[in-house]
């Protein structure tokens, strides 16, 4: 056998590793820049905690509108006042799209609401959109979750307002929507000091300046009721002088009430059985100088119309006829006759008798007044 020329495999020495070649020299170039890290976008504040109304007003005055605003609470008059302020500020800052688009949750799909919210672009102006009765979405948790998820994505300038109606208890199912909105405001009955600020803000919007004590005096006459105060201020703002100033004398002259203006509200409260409202409106009538015999006559016409007689006040008479039976209406007419007889014979104070018969007719309490006997009837 031929022997192999080289050493056997068993005795073969391990091969040396090849020496690494030095890298070729390169021309010096510019130093590599470290990668630039962009700061993470700041998270938008969410509406978990309610915002103060006057903080929102200051933002509106600057032209700073929240992307989404959730409005809830029990005071509907304050909600309307806030929306009026928002619309006025929006029309001033966005003249190319001054009007608000109003949607109803029961009539609009979630996709329609989100299309309005995300629909603006470089070629279309931003919009102010208001969704009324958002609680109607509470029948479907999937819709609420889908809308909340869509609101978390930023829009391109549209301001969307979700308006929840008043409720006796908290609607917990709407919690995701409240958290998804950038701002939340809860309308609760204001204190007197807050109501004065609301009133001054309302006049300021129309460029009207009120003398010290004017708003307070009007609020006193409205018994610190926000809805009544705003209505009175709306009327008075149109009668301000050429310099846009409301004085105490002008307010006293303009607010001198007329019987024809206040009497229908009083009769409507009596017809609907609103005892507290009827007593309150009766006090306003008497404070305006209305004569007691005119009020008694109007009550008699109201009850007589409900019994089928002449209906000078048709709507209240029909309402009273629906609420009371013919027997009760006869008792009401009898109570009015006896109150009038007691007044004419000097058996009682006319104001006390009028307050008593107002409660009788409104509440259906036919107990005889202790100062009036049946024999006093003429």
Average pLDDT over residues 91-95: 93
Residues facing residue 71 across a β-bridge: 163, 185
Whether residues 233 and 263 share a domain: the answer is: no
Q: Could you tell me if 166 and 221 lie in one domain?
A: no
Query: How many angstroms separate the CA atoms of 205 and 188, rounded?
Result: 22
- The answer as to whether 126 is a domain residue is yes
Query: Looking at the structure, do residues 196 and 115 belong to the same domain, yes or no?
Result: no
Q: Are 214 and 247 within 8 A, CB to CB? A: yes
361 in a structural domain: yes
One domain for residues 153 and 57: yes
**Rounded-to-integer distance, Cα 61 and Cα 93, Å:** 9
- The band of 242, judged by pLDDT with boundaries at 50, 70 and 90, is low
How many C-beta atoms lie closer than 10 Å to residue 90's C-beta? 21
Q: Does one domain contain both 148 and 200?
A: no
User: Are both 97 and 198 inside the same structural domain?
Assistant: no
Q: What is the pLDDT of residue 1?
A: 45
Of 172, 187, 202, which closes a domain?
187
Tell me, yes or no, whether 347 lies in a domain: yes
> Is 67 found in the same domain as 142?
yes
Domain boundary among 254, 279, 296: 254
Strand partners, 187: 73
Inside any domain, residue 39: no
Q: Please say which residue of 168, 187, 206 terminates a domain.
A: 187
Domain holding 77: CATH number? 3.40.50.300
- Alpha carbon separation from 269 to 59, 145, 262, 272 (Å, rounded): 41, 43, 11, 5
* Structural domains counted in the chain: 3
Structure token pair of residue 9: 């495999």
Q: Write out the residue range of the structural domain in which residue 298 sits.
A: 259-376
**pLDDT tens-place string over residues 182-238:** 999 999 999 999 999 999 999 988 888 888 888 998 888 777 888 888 888 887 877
CA proximity to 218, closest of 237, 242, 205: 237
* Residue 221 maps to a domain: yes
CA neighbor of 187 nearest in space, from 172, 165, 171:
165
Any domain includes 335: yes
Which runs of E-coded beta strand occur in 105-187?
Answer: 128-132, 159-163, 183-187
Farthest CA pair distance, the chain: 160
Average pLDDT, the chain: 79
Residues 171 and 267 in one domain: no
Q: Give pLDDT, residue 331.
A: 85
Residue 38 in any domain: the answer is no
* CATH, residue 326: 1.20.272
If phi > 0 it is left, if psi is from -120 to 50 it is alpha, else beta; for residue 197 that is: alpha
Is residue 35 in a domain?
Answer: no
Structure tokens at 214: 């004017």
| pLDDT-above-70 percentage for the chain | 79
Cα separation of 144 and 141, whole Å?
A: 5
The enclosing domain of 207 has a CATH number of 1.10.8
Cα–Cα distances (Å) from 374 to 216, 271, 328, 331, 344, in that order, read: 46, 25, 17, 12, 15
158 and 108 together in one domain: yes
Confidence of residue 134 (pLDDT cuts 50, 70, 90): very high
């Amino acid at each position: 056998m031929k022997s192999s020329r080289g050493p056997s495999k068993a005795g073969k020495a391990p091969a040396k590793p090849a020496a690494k070649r030095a890298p070729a020299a390169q021309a010096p170039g510019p130093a590599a820049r470290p990668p630039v890290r962009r700061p993470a976008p700041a998270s938008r504040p969410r509406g978990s905690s309610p915002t103060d109304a006057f903080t929102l007003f200051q933002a509106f005055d600057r032209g700073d509108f929240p992307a989404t605003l959730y409005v809830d609470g029990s005071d509907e008059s304050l909600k309307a006042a806030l929306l009026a302020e928002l619309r006025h500020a929006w029309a001033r800052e966005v003249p190319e799209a001054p009007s608000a688009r109003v949607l109803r949750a029961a009539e609009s799909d979630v996709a329609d609401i989100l299309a309005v919210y995300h629909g603006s672009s470089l070629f279309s102006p931003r919009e102010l959109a208001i969704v009324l009765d958002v609680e109607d979405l509470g029948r479907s948790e999937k819709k609420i979750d889908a809308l909340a998820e869509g609101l978390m994505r930023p829009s391109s300038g549209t301001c969307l307002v979700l308006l929840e109606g008043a409720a006796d208890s908290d609607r917990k199912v709407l919690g995701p929507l409240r958290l998804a909105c950038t701002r939340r405001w809860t309308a609760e009955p204001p204190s007197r000091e807050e109501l004065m600020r609301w009133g001054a803000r309302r006049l300021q919007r129309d460029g009207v300046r009120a003398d010290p004590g004017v708003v307070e005096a009007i609020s006193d006459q409205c018994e610190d009721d926000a809805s009544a105060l705003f209505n009175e201020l709306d009327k008075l703002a149109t009668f301000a002088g050429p310099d846009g100033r409301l004085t105490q004398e002008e307010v006293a002259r303009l607010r001198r009430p007329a019987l024809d203006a206040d009497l229908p509200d009083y009769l409507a409260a009596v017809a609907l059985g609103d005892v507290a409202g009827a007593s309150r409106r009766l006090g306003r009538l008497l404070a305006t100088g209305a004569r007691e015999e005119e009020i008694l006559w109007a009550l008699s016409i109201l009850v007589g119309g409900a019994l089928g007689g002449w209906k000078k006040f048709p709507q209240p008479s029909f309402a009273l006829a629906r609420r009371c039976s013919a027997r009760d209406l006869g008792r009401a007419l009898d109570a009015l006759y006896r109150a009038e007889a007691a007044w004419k014979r000097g058996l009682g104070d006319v104001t006390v008798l009028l307050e008593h018969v107002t409660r009788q007719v409104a509440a259906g309490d036919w107990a005889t007044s202790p100062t009036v006997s049946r024999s006093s009837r003429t």
